Amino acid sequence: MRLFTTVAALRCYYELRRKGQNKSAGELNALSSIGLVPTMGALHAGHLSLIERARQENDTVIVSIFVNPLQFGPTEDYQSYPRTLERDRALCEQAGVDAIFAPTAKELGIEQGYTSCQVVPPASMTDVLCGKSRPGHFQGVATIVTKLFNLVQPDKAYFGQKDGQQLAIIRRLVQDLNFPIEIVGCPTVREPSGLAMSSRNQYLTPEQKEQAAVLYRSLQQAEIAFKAGERLAENLLEIVRQELAIISAVTVEYVELVEPNTLMPVEKIEEQGMIAIASRVGAARLIDNIVLRSRQPIVAIDGPAGAGKSTVARQVAAALGLVYLDTGAMYRALTWLVLESGIDINDLPAIAELASSCQIQLASSTGLDNPVRVWINDREVTQDIRTLEVTAHVSAIASQSAVRQELLRQQQRWGQKGGLVAEGRDIGTHVFPDAELKIFLTASVQERARRRQQDFEHQGQITLTLEQLEKSIAERDFLDSTRELAPLQKAADAIEICTDGLSIAEVTDKIIALYHKLCY
């Protein structure tokens, strides 16, 4: 692992890696995907969860450690903020980080008497919640994060849900300033008591830590009421306030209910709401939040090819009255449109343009044997997308990153309302990382080879030997889990079901039982 403190060294490292000059044995030739985890150091398990996620999803992981003076007010704890670089370095090394970028303030152009350019997010997002008592804080965050994005040029950047307002502002920054970066929000990591981990917890005595656990307890009380049907802000917030009031050592700064993306106040939760708290306990200012969603659940089914995902997903959707989001049909519809428009299959910019201006619609089929009905730009293409020509070109279209990004956007838009079952390779990790139920459906290579042989026989086709089929399935598994775009990944919170020896009905029943146990 490398440690850089200057912009020049970071740029040089990138340059060399791009050219593949400093690769050690087994290291990738190019910087094919870069994940950035911005931190202020004093790393704890919350930071490490972001690093772990970045490690899973990228070839190169960069952690920045920078206590950003721009985001501290004049009376805040900039001077006393914990700085533990040696320990952080060891933790990053253990976590498999490739490089730490730990510049000084001067190196990033922050000096007394010098006024640098600033990034100013909308006031509607910065003047609310923590912004009320921390003027200039989010402008300081947005400015430094923009600099880090420009320096590191990551494909993905990882932020914690614990800082919910910061996460919303960064998402907005990336959207409004067109950064080609995916922002990955990661769940809050907590102490066993429920207290959200934070570098500032170091300011607390053991007794204060116990007292501070009331923050999460109060949010949980609101969640219980929400699950029982309470939707009104005034009632949910009152529940939180009452619980907080039990511990007099906790001084509440605010408790509010806002829409998690826009941070606008919410009076009644229609789709989702974030209850956010800030409080003081002893010398520490602590924040926490919880996102409440009233959408119908999403079931994400991932797994290797041939494990029976699409059949099972269709049956689960039909049995639970959910929509089967046939993502394969979406890629087929776009492929049909490309062919219909006469665009060359290798003309990536033209296809990107077509993808970002098309509208795809899906409707649940009436029976299990009927395919999902599909429209693209208001034309029904349910039958057209099943032609040999579309089949022959669909994987070339689906491997184009602009296409995947656009269809991901459309899929996630459907996901906002919930009530769907989707299957693929990265649904639970990437498309719907907050799905209520995640299944990882597998079967041994031998079982899948046997099933495929049976399929061939049913279709009256000449079949390969079992050994040949096993070899090709194992090769496909390897390619699927190592490819750059949307590789097969098992989400950490997915439930694995091995379908060896189980019928489709048995697998479906298992998933339905899990749904009733975990979602309803």
CA distance 484 to 125: 35
How far is the CA of 302 from the CAs of 427, 455, 519, in angstroms?
Answer: 6, 21, 18
Which residues, 6 or more positions from 463, have their beta carbon under 8 angstroms from its beta carbon? 453, 456, 457, 469
Which residues, 6 or more positions from 395, have their beta carbon under 8 angstroms from its beta carbon? none
How far is the CA of 436 from the CAs of 188, 418, 432, 439, in angstroms?
Answer: 16, 10, 9, 10
How far is the CA of 369 from the CAs of 329, 373, 460, 499, 506, in angstroms?
Answer: 15, 12, 20, 22, 19
Q: Confirm or reject binding of residue 40 to ligand AMP (CB under 6 A).
A: yes
Q: Confirm or reject binding of residue 163 to ligand AMP (CB under 6 A).
A: yes
- Reduce the DSSP state of residue 457 to 3 states and report it: helix
As annotated, the active-site residues are 47
- From the list 392, 349, 389, 358, the residue with the least C-alpha distance to 376 is 358
CA dihedral 233, 235, 236, 238 (to 10 degrees): 110
Q: Confirm or reject binding of residue 189 to ligand AMP (CB under 6 A).
A: yes
Task: Please report how close the Cβ of residue 64 comes to ligand AMP at its closest, in angstroms.
Answer: 9
Q: Which of 58, 146, 188, 201 binds ligand AMP (CB under 6 A)?
A: 188
Task: Please report how close the Cβ of residue 392 comes to ligand AMP at its closest, in angstroms.
Answer: 44
Cβ proximity to ligand AMP: between 58 and 335 the closer is 58
Which residues, 6 or more positions from 2, have their beta carbon under 8 angstroms from its beta carbon? 13, 98, 99, 100
CA distance 416 to 272: 9
Contact 480/425 with Cβ under 8 angstroms? yes
Q: Which of 60, 64, 139, 198 binds ligand AMP (CB under 6 A)?
A: 198
Which span (191-199, 252-260, 343-351, 503-511) binds ligand AMP, by CB under 6 A? 191-199
Q: Confirm or reject binding of residue 46 to ligand AMP (CB under 6 A).
A: yes
Q: Total number of residues binding ligand AMP (CB under 6 A)?
A: 17
CA distance 346 to 399: 11
Q: Confirm or reject binding of residue 162 to ligand AMP (CB under 6 A).
A: yes
CA distance 113 to 78: 18
Task: Please report how close the Cβ of residue 518 comes to ligand AMP at its closest, in angstroms.
Answer: 22
Q: Confirm or reject binding of residue 39 to ligand AMP (CB under 6 A).
A: yes
Q: Confirm or reject binding of residue 197 to ligand AMP (CB under 6 A).
A: yes
DSSP secondary structure string for all residues of 184-207: EEEPPPB-TTSPBP-GGGGGS-HH
89 to 128: interface string for ligand AMP, x by CB under 6 A: ----------------------------------------
Q: Which of 17, 47, 314, 448 binds ligand AMP (CB under 6 A)?
A: 47
Q: Which of 159, 203, 336, 440 binds ligand AMP (CB under 6 A)?
A: 159
Task: Please report how close the Cβ of residue 87 comes to ligand AMP at its closest, in angstroms.
Answer: 14
Task: Please report how close the Cβ of residue 184 comes to ligand AMP at its closest, in angstroms.
Answer: 10
**At residue 38, what is the residue type?**
P
Which span (46-54, 349-357, 435-443, 475-483) binds ligand AMP, by CB under 6 A? 46-54
Indicate the DSSP class of residue 67.
-
Q: Confirm or reject binding of residue 452 to ligand AMP (CB under 6 A).
A: no
Q: Which of 34, 48, 50, 108 binds ligand AMP (CB under 6 A)?
A: 50
Task: Please report how close the Cβ of residue 189 comes to ligand AMP at its closest, in angstroms.
Answer: 4
Q: Confirm or reject binding of residue 160 to ligand AMP (CB under 6 A).
A: yes
Q: Which of 34, 129, 130, 186 binds ligand AMP (CB under 6 A)?
A: 186
Beta pairing, strands 60-65 & 437-442: unpaired
Q: Which of 60, 126, 143, 199 binds ligand AMP (CB under 6 A)?
A: 199
Cβ proximity to ligand AMP: between 64 and 400 the closer is 64
Q: Using CB under 6 A as the criterion, which residues of the chain lie in contact with ligand AMP when the complex forms?
A: 39-40, 46-47, 49-50, 159-160, 162-163, 186, 188-189, 196-199
